[in-house]
């Protein structure tokens, strides 16, 4: 038989004209056979549908995964790569799809089928795909997302757990166009502080445009409960946020006397009034107090520079932090600059670390400007000291903190709960196996109000306020040359270290219960070999500085806001002495 086939093929390969016709038909039949064989092979070799929890068995193989698209980020490192990272949840687990040269995406919550190579590298695993065919879905796979009010979700959030929903509300802060991963809150009032209900949002992928604080938007995403933060959160995609252009946005007016609060308007469009000066091409706006504000002029401003110089003017622009000069700037030109960074809250930075810890190694030396709060009070020091930044002024559920190193020397206390703005880099702490912020520049902001301590709270509860400025109502008493502050009517007492010339220790105020303010410290008692509390740098309230405490003025019937209440030329203190 082999000889017959060999002879047949030999006849097809000759140049005999008699065999030309049959030869063409045979070649056509063979080509059809080859195409059919290849199609059959392609069907046989089609990637298998694999559960996410089984991907470890398919390393370096092409597989299919069917699941729900729950989030995606375009160009995650802002490096210009034509890449999209998508997260797929199939019920057995989640997997990341690194999709190069991606195509159009469906809405969040769509059931999709993705195809890619299973890659494993240094303990991390993902699917890697190239081109438009890596993700497929049908029209019926797109979810119907109901439009709800935030109050609807607030009443029964469990009813929407894991569902794709739409919410309409107002943005709590401005979102920059190129931030690939950010957070914000959606409230039911344009003024964030007046919202009755609000929900946290994780914004995946850059929006492509500025979204101002107070903007009315409609978002679509997946609602889930974050166990780490103890709160409900909505995962949304930046490019899919719909802005209501007809809703007016309130533009805040900056207050020169409260520059420490400017950090709360960072990244926002603001108004500011002042005197404009242009010296050697440098534009500055000076106000009634505080440091000047540098101005990055628009093209229109540059054309009118001569008439604007030296004028009292009200300008509108975006408030940004200039890392080159460590100062605030008003950006009117709208051009991006590597020296200009719209500050973010510490919560944003913590979320970035939580979502993608490896970015600190991908971007060594990157400087971030963040606003945060001191977790604990930190005493003056001439050396670098370790501390913690946190995302709220006082303890709240989900309170999150991160270690920082604050450079010395530093002559004053940093108070617990004090607002700070810092330029930081992120480093890895090998000793403690954690990320740590290294502070290059620290600007102190508003301090928290002193905590009022109650004698009935006890020593353990007082321990939470150690090293803080506190207020305590008590009587000063002396024993063998040592001053104590005691609870009226009981034997409870702490050491009292008053400021020099403290009026609370003079003969007029002794045996009077008054409000004292000072720093609560723990010191060693040499007699009992125990740690005891002391109120250091203590003083009593004397609002009008007339030498008579507010407590005595209230009892005597004089005003604590006037040194001479009745205007008779005799001070309130002297009148009290005369009538005693």
The secondary structure of 5-28 as a DSSP string is HHHHHHHHTS--GGGHHHHHHHHH
The pLDDT value recorded for residue 458 is: 80
Last residue of a domain, one of 418, 444, 470: 444
The pLDDT value recorded for residue 333 is: 77
Q: Is residue 561 part of a domain?
A: no
The pLDDT value recorded for residue 44 is: 45
Residue 326 and residue 287 share a domain: yes
Q: Is residue 499 part of a domain?
A: yes
The pLDDT value recorded for residue 42 is: 42
Last residue of a domain, one of 115, 141, 167: 141
Report whether 472 contacts 513 (CB < 8 A).
no
Q: What's the total number of domains in the chain?
A: 6
Q: Is residue 578 part of a domain?
A: no
Residue 358 and residue 276 share a domain: no
| Tens-level pLDDT at each residue, the chain (580 residues) | 455 555 555 555 555 555 555 556 566 666 666 655 555 444 445 678 899 888 888 898 899 999 988 888 888 777 778 888 888 888 888 899 999 988 888 888 889 999 999 998 877 889 999 888 889 988 888 888 888 888 888 888 998 888 888 999 999 888 888 777 778 899 888 877 778 889 999 888 888 888 888 889 999 888 888 877 788 989 888 888 999 888 888 888 888 888 877 877 888 888 888 888 998 888 988 887 778 889 988 888 888 888 888 887 888 888 888 766 778 889 887 654 545 555 555 666 766 666 556 666 666 777 777 888 899 898 888 788 889 998 888 777 667 888 999 888 888 889 998 888 888 888 888 888 888 888 888 888 888 888 889 988 888 888 888 889 999 999 999 888 889 999 988 888 899 999 888 988 888 888 888 899 999 998 887 777 678 899 999 998 888 888 888 888 888 888 888 887 888 888 888 888 877 6
Q: Is residue 554 part of a domain?
A: no
The pLDDT value recorded for residue 321 is: 80
The pLDDT value recorded for residue 299 is: 87
Question: What does pTM read for this prediction?
Answer: 0.48
Q: What is the CATH number of the domain that holds 360?
A: 2.40.50.140
25's tokens: 């038909």
Which structural domain range is residue 531 located in?
451-540
Residue 57 and residue 40 share a domain: no
Residue 133 and residue 118 share a domain: yes
- Interatomic CA distance for residues 60 and 548, integer angstroms: 82
Residue 80 and residue 6 share a domain: no
Residue 490 and residue 433 share a domain: no
Q: Is residue 237 part of a domain?
A: yes
Residue 349 and residue 324 share a domain: no
The pLDDT value recorded for residue 39 is: 52
Which value, to the nearest 10 degrees, does the dihedral of the CA atoms of residues 367, 372, 373, 375 take?
A: -60
Report whether 515 contacts 455 (CB < 8 A).
no
Residue 348 and residue 326 share a domain: no
Listed in sequence order, the residues at least 6 apart from 183 whose beta carbon sits closer than 8 Å to its beta carbon are 200, 201, 202, 203, 345, 347, 348, 351
Residue 136 and residue 81 share a domain: yes
Q: Is residue 289 part of a domain?
A: yes
Last residue of a domain, one of 426, 444, 462: 444
Residue 130 and residue 173 share a domain: no
The pLDDT value recorded for residue 147 is: 87
- Interatomic CA distance for residues 171 and 165, integer angstroms: 17
Report whether 405 contacts 425 (CB < 8 A).
no
Q: Is residue 556 part of a domain?
A: no
Q: Is residue 570 part of a domain?
A: no
| Per-residue CA distances from 9 to 3, 26, 518 (Å) | 10, 10, 106
Residue 56 and residue 71 share a domain: yes
- Written as one string, the DSSP assignment of 106-142 is PPTT-EEEEEEEEEEETTEEEEEEESGGGEE--GGGS
Residue 350 and residue 318 share a domain: no
């Amino acid at each position: 038989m082999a000889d017959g086939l060999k002879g047949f093929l030999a006849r097809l390969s000759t140049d005999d004209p008699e065999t030309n016709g049959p030869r063409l038909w045979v070649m056509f039949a063979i080509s059809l056979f080859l195409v059919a064989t290849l199609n059959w092979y392609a069907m046989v070799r089609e990637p298998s549908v694999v559960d996410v929890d089984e991907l470890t068995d398919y390393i370096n193989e092409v597989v299919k995964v069917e699941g729900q698209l729950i989030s995606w980020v375009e160009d995650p490192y802002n490096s210009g790569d034509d890449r999209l990272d998508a997260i797929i949840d199939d019920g057995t687990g989640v997997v990341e799809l690194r999709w190069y040269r991606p195509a159009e995406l469906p809405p969040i919550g769509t059931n999709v089928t993705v195809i890619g190579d299973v890659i494993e590298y240094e303990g991390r695993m993902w699917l890697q795909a190239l081109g438009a065919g890596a993700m497929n879905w049908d029209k019926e796979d797109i979810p119907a997302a109901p439009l709800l009010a935030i109050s609807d979700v607030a009443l029964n959030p469990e009813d929407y757990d894991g569902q794709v929903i739409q919410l309409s509300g107002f943005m709590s802060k401005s979102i920059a166009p190129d931030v690939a991963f950010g957070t914000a809150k959606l409230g039911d009032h344009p003024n964030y502080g007046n919202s009755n209900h609000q929900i946290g949002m994780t914004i995946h992928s850059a929006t492509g445009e500025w979204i101002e604080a107070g903007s009315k938007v409609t978002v679509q995403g997946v609602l889930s409960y974050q166990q780490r933060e103890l709160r409900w959160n909505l995962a949304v995609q930046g490019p899919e946020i719909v802005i209501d252009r007809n809703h007016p946005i309130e533009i805040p007016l900056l207050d020169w006397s409260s520059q420490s609060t400017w950090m709360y308007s960072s990244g926002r469009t603001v108004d500011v009034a002042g005197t404009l000066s242009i010296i050697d091409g440098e534009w500055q706006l000076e106000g009634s107090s505080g440091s000047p504000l540098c101005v990055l002029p628009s093209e229109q401003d540059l054309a009118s520079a001569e008439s604007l110089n030296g004028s009292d003017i009200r300008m509108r622009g975006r408030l940004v932090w200039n890392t080159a000069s460590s100062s605030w700037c008003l950006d009117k030109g709208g051009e991006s600059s590597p020296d200009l960074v719209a500050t973010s809250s510490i919560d944003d930075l913590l979320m970035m670390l939580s979502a993608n810890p490896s970015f600190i190694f991908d971007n060594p030396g990157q400087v971030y400007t963040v606003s945060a709060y001191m977790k604990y009070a930190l005493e003056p020091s001439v050396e670098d000291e370790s501390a913690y930044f946190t995302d709220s002024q006082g303890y709240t559920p989900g309170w999150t903190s991160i270690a920082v190193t604050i450079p010395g020397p530093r002559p004053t206390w940093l108070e617990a709960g004090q607002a700070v703005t810092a330029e930081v880099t992120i480093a890895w702490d090998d000793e403690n196996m954690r990320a740590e912020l290294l502070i290059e520049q620290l600007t102190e902001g508003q301090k928290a109000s002193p905590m009022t301590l109650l004698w009935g709270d006890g020593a353990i509860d007082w321990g939470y306020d150690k090293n803080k400025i506190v207020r305590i109502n008590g009587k000063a008493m002396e024993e063998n040359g040592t001053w104590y502050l005691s609870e009226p009517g009981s034997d409870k007492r702490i050491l009292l270290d008053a400021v020099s010339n403290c009026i609370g220790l003079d003969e007029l105020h002794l045996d009077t219960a008054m409000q004292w303010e000072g720093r609560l410290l723990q010191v060693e008692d040499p007699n009992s070999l125990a740690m005891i509390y002391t109120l250091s740098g203590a003083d009593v309230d004397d609002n009008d500085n007339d030498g008579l405490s507010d407590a005595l003025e209230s009892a005597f019937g004089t005003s604590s806001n006037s040194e001479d209440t009745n205007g008779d030329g005799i001070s309130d203190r002297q009148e009290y002495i005369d009538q005693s």
